[in-house]
Amino acid sequence: MKMKKYTASTMALAMKKVEQDLGDDAIIVSSKVVYSKDFLGMFKKKSIEVIAGKEPVRKTTSVSIPAIDDSPKDAVLPNEHSEKINKELADLKSLVKTIQRQSVSYQYPDEYEEIIQRLEQQELNPELITAVGDELFQVKKNGNEKLAKEDYKELAKEELIKLLQGLPFGGLSYNKKYINVLGPTGVGKTTTIAKMAALAVLQKKKKIGFITTDTYRIAAIEQLKVYANLLQSPVEIVYSKEDYEQALVKFDSLDIVFIDTAGRNYREAKYINDLRELIDIGDNMENYLVLSLTAKEQDMTEIIDQFTEIPIEKFIFTKMDETISIGSMINLMVKYKKGLAYYTNGQEVPEDIEEATAENIVELLIQGD
């Protein structure tokens, strides 16, 4: 195969050159970003270098540029050699597909470039952005020239909602008595419990109580007591398994019991075990994991990974008012296949809490508030 080098300022332009020169049977052998200095040797200029060639013989070894066929092809030669060729072919196809993706992303048209940029600002996972971009690209390609920016925005929302399909949304079910609230220190567990409890009392007219296992700081106990007093509901402070069991007996006649847990360093698996020893994670319990949107996604991932042993019902994300990007919330929901109960957006109890739906979080993501 004869190889040739093509250089251009963007991947899209480089691919265009390849296509013009070699036609759409061209095979991309490699691509890379190169930096060159200008004539004064001062400024670095970025360009894309693509090595491509054309195989004059069998059709099966060529990769057509615009459409990549993923379907497995029958081996051409029935031996080891053909296996190797097939493997190389598969590698090549995946490479071209990646390059196509990149070149598509450079080519987002005016109608929806802003939407894609918005999703990037929101730090939505690039794979999810590509899924949305591909969908809009298809719509445009299919001749929907008359669609305006607003139409594309609606299509993007629909696509994002589709990505969240099947995940559970919405607040307490009120079918289970015990609401166990977990999460690292300072994310807003106690405050969020107070908000949920106020909704349960004021809107649903439930008889409620609180259990706290967060006995490490006096202030934490006092904080919960303040909210409990406001709602004229009992609190039990639990230091041991026996305390916990007695509290359950005392709260026998209540409808809903909120359990406030000690937010410790969940990166240490030990704490999860301690917690499970103290609290019976039974059938009559909904477990919520509270995470703050101000945290780094990577750190949140580590925390969630520690909770695999506990059947987390849904996430609760707090402090939306303190960040401008909420993509991490969606990334984590998709990654862990977990839904969202509530998001909170301020320190005021009980008003700064919203029950989540796929529609309202996608709206926030695309539109802001």
The Cβ-side half-sphere exposure at 174, using a 13 Å CA radius, reads 13
Q: Is 157 or 319 the residue whose CB approaches ligand GDP more closely?
A: 319
Minimum Å distance from CB 307 to ligand GDP? 15
- Determine the Cα–Cα distance for residues 180 and 177; give it in Å rounded to an integer: 10
In the chain, the amino acid numbered 201 is V
Least Cα distance to 35 among 26, 25, 48, 23 occurs for 48
Q: Is 233 or 292 the residue whose CB approaches ligand GDP more closely?
A: 292
Q: Is 62 or 318 the residue whose CB approaches Mg ion more closely?
A: 318
In the chain, the amino acid numbered 119 is L
**Partner whose binding site includes residue 86, from ligand GDP, Mg ion, none (CB under 5 to 8 Å by kind):** none
Residues 198-227 that bind Mg ion (CB under 5 A): 220
292 binds Mg ion (CB under 5 A): no
Least Cα distance to 193 among 282, 261, 239, 292 occurs for 261
Reduced to 3 states (helix: H, G, I; strand: E, B; else coil), residue 42 is coil
In the chain, the amino acid numbered 352 is D
Query: Minimal CB distance to ligand GDP: which residue?
Result: 188
Q: Is 96 or 275 the residue whose CB approaches ligand GDP more closely?
A: 275
Binding site for ligand GDP (CB under 6 A): 183, 185-191, 263, 318-319, 321-322, 344-347, 352
Phi, psi dihedral angles at 74 (to 5 degrees): -65, 145
How many residues bind Mg ion (CB under 5 A)? The answer is 3
**Partner whose binding site includes residue 344, from Mg ion, ligand GDP, none (CB under 5 to 8 Å by kind):** ligand GDP
**Partner whose binding site includes residue 368, from ligand GDP, Mg ion, none (CB under 5 to 8 Å by kind):** none
Minimum Å distance from CB 191 to Mg ion? 8
- Determine the Cα–Cα distance for residues 15 and 64; give it in Å rounded to an integer: 12
Minimum Å distance from CB 224 to Mg ion? 7
* Residue 183 contacts residue 289 (beta carbons within 8 Å): yes
190 binds Mg ion (CB under 5 A): yes
**Partner whose binding site includes residue 338, from ligand GDP, Mg ion, none (CB under 5 to 8 Å by kind):** none
Residue whose structure tokens are 């439930």: 206
Minimum Å distance from CB 222 to ligand GDP? 11
Alpha helices in 55-79 (DSSP H): none
345 binds Mg ion (CB under 5 A): no
Minimum Å distance from CB 288 to Mg ion? 14
**Partner whose binding site includes residue 187, from ligand GDP, Mg ion, none (CB under 5 to 8 Å by kind):** ligand GDP
Least Cα distance to 1 among 75, 54, 76 occurs for 54
Q: Is 144 or 185 the residue whose CB approaches ligand GDP more closely?
A: 185
Minimum Å distance from CB 190 to Mg ion? 3
**Partner whose binding site includes residue 346, from ligand GDP, Mg ion, none (CB under 5 to 8 Å by kind):** ligand GDP
**What six digits make up the tokens of 280?**
């019976």
**Partner whose binding site includes residue 136, from Mg ion, ligand GDP, none (CB under 5 to 8 Å by kind):** none
* Residue 227 contacts residue 348 (beta carbons within 8 Å): no
- Determine the Cα–Cα distance for residues 115 and 239; give it in Å rounded to an integer: 51
**What six digits make up the tokens of 300?**
């949140």
Q: Is 152 or 178 the residue whose CB approaches Mg ion more closely?
A: 178
Contacts 24+ apart (CB under 8 A), 152-155: 152/111, 152/112, 152/115, 153/112, 153/115, 153/366
Binding site for Mg ion (CB under 5 A): 189-190, 220
